[in-house]
Amino acid sequence: MRSVLFVIANLEYSGPARQLGVLATGLPRDSFHVRVAVLGGETPWATSLRRAGVAVEVLGWRRPFDAAPFLALRRLVQALRPDVLHVWGATALRAVVLTGSRAKALWVSAALSFTQPIGWMDRWLLARVGGVIAFGAAEAERYRRLGVADTRLTLVSPAIPVETSTVQPAELPGVTAADRVLLGLGPIKPHKGFHKAIWAFDILRHLYKDVHFVLVGDGPDRPRIEHFARQIGVRDHVHFLGNCIETAPLLRRSDMVWVPSLHGGGVCAALEAMAAGRPVVASRLPDLAEIVVDGETGFLVEPNDKAALARQTRLLLDDPQRRQRMGESGRQRVREHFTVHRLVEACGRRYVGD
């Protein structure tokens, strides 16, 4: 039995948090004892993991110079003495390394920011981990450019479960059953491109009066987007739902999913859409191009190209059969290339030292 402790800054909706959840619930219980340490506060996903039988320790970090959560992390690691520490994100990596937390094996994922330049400390921290688990070839290449040798690098495909049971579509306030829904999955941060996407939505609203844009998640860019939507007169058709535990009913209700990232990210949102049988209109970025097959499971457009986002969306709004065909192709692609079994097997081998 190998003990694994996952450490992450928070469990709000994000790709790293989603992949952590897939692994934490997917690792076989007869071979791995899994716990999760969250530097931040309680979230719906923390509750969801506990319901799935995963122990979650919330350390309550809220202020930049609050040392108590980091000391609590050190005590937790000392008490558990895990065989494996798998750290998610640069903040969690700093916390683990700088508090002197130790384990027989230290792995890191999602340690590179899409919005901040890589500094000397990031390189220094990466040099102190036993290995890096990269979710995709584009991410692996970014680590190589920082000097991470192939011997310390493990390439895996991200994963998402495909629903096998019937999911009832969500009821959305202000949206009738006949209306059409474009869905965006957070977090709502500037580099996710949702502010720019409102421009594209405004174009579409002049053509389709029954279209709504629904945003799931929260983040620092939400007030700016709300203000802009109000300013250009589309606020009644742009809906903010905040953080949600279950995205499946929302995906079931949607007609397609937008992933308009400007610099990176959005892989998990694209995968969730495809697993739910929904076409994706996403930015043509290296990570997303590994997921979305242009013209087959959705469309790829240049980042920040508002006209192209509206144009490709219109092709799908005008052609229900194409939407269905692309959605089914996306679901099949997830079943073939992005399975939970494959991710769990690949990471499990690393955790036991193979």
Closest listed residue to residue 338, CA positions, set 279, 295, 291, 297: 291
User: Do 119 and 211 have their domain in common?
Assistant: no
Q: Are residues 133 and 208 in the same domain?
A: no
Q: What is the pTM of this model?
A: 0.92
Query: Which percentage of the chain shows pLDDT scores above 70?
Result: 100
Confirm whether 151 is domain-assigned: yes
Alpha-carbon distance of 168 to 22, in angstroms, equals 22
pLDDT of residue 89: 92
User: How far is it, in rounded angstroms, from Cα 21 to Cα 87?
Assistant: 13
The 10s digit of each residue's pLDDT in 128-167 is 888 999 999 999 999 998 889 999 999 999 999 998 888 8
Average pLDDT over residues 195-207: 95
- At residue 354, the pLDDT reads 63
Same domain for 25 and 155? yes
For residue 258, the cross-strand partners are 184, 281
- Please tell me whether residue 150 adopts helix, strand or coil conformation: helix
104 shares a domain with 58? yes
One domain for residues 185 and 99: no
Same domain, 102 and 184: no
Do 120 and 225 reside in the same domain of the chain?
no
Query: Per residue in 107-129, pLDDT tens?
Result: 999 998 877 777 788 888 888 88
Q: Does 345 lie in the same domain as 253?
A: no
State the average pLDDT over residues 169-183.
94
CA separation for the pair 112, 265 (Å, rounded): 11
Give a yes or no: residue 165 inside a domain.
no
Taking CB atoms within 8 Å and a gap of at least 24, the contacts of 54-59 are 54/24, 54/25, 56/11
The tokens for 20 are 């952590």
Secondary structure in 3-state letters for 45-62: HHHHHHHCCCEEEECCCC
* Domain span at 29: 2-159+339-351
Q: What Cα–Cα distance (Å) separates residue 29 from each residue in 2, 4, 99?
A: 10, 11, 29
Query: Measured between alpha carbons, how far is 135 from 262 in angstroms, rounded to an integer?
Result: 19
Share of the chain above pLDDT 90, in %: 76
pLDDT tens by residue, 1-21: 899 999 999 998 889 999 999
Could you tell me if residue 171 is inside a domain?
no
Q: Are residues 214 and 255 in the same domain?
A: yes
pLDDT per residue over 319-350, tens digit each?
Answer: 999 999 999 999 999 999 999 999 999 999 99
Kindly state the average pLDDT of the residues 236-241. 95
Q: Are residues 123 and 251 in the same domain?
A: no
Report the pLDDT value the prediction gives residue 155, as an integer from 0 to 100.
96
What integer is the mean pLDDT of 169-178? 93
290 falls within a domain: yes
Q: Are residues 153 and 225 in the same domain?
A: no
DSSP per residue over 66-115, as a string?
Answer: --HHHHHHHHHHHHH--SEEEEESHHHHHHHHHTT---SEEEEES-S-SS
H-type alpha helices, the chain:
15-26, 44-51, 68-80, 90-98, 120-126, 137-145, 194-205, 222-231, 248-253, 267-275, 286-289, 306-317, 320-337, 340-351
**DSSP assignment, residue 31?**
T
pLDDT, tens only, 267-278: 999 999 999 999
Domains held by the chain: number: 2
301/344 same-domain check? no
Q: Is residue 41 part of a domain?
A: yes
CATH of the domain at 332: 3.40.50.2000
CB of 196 within 8 A of CB of 228? no
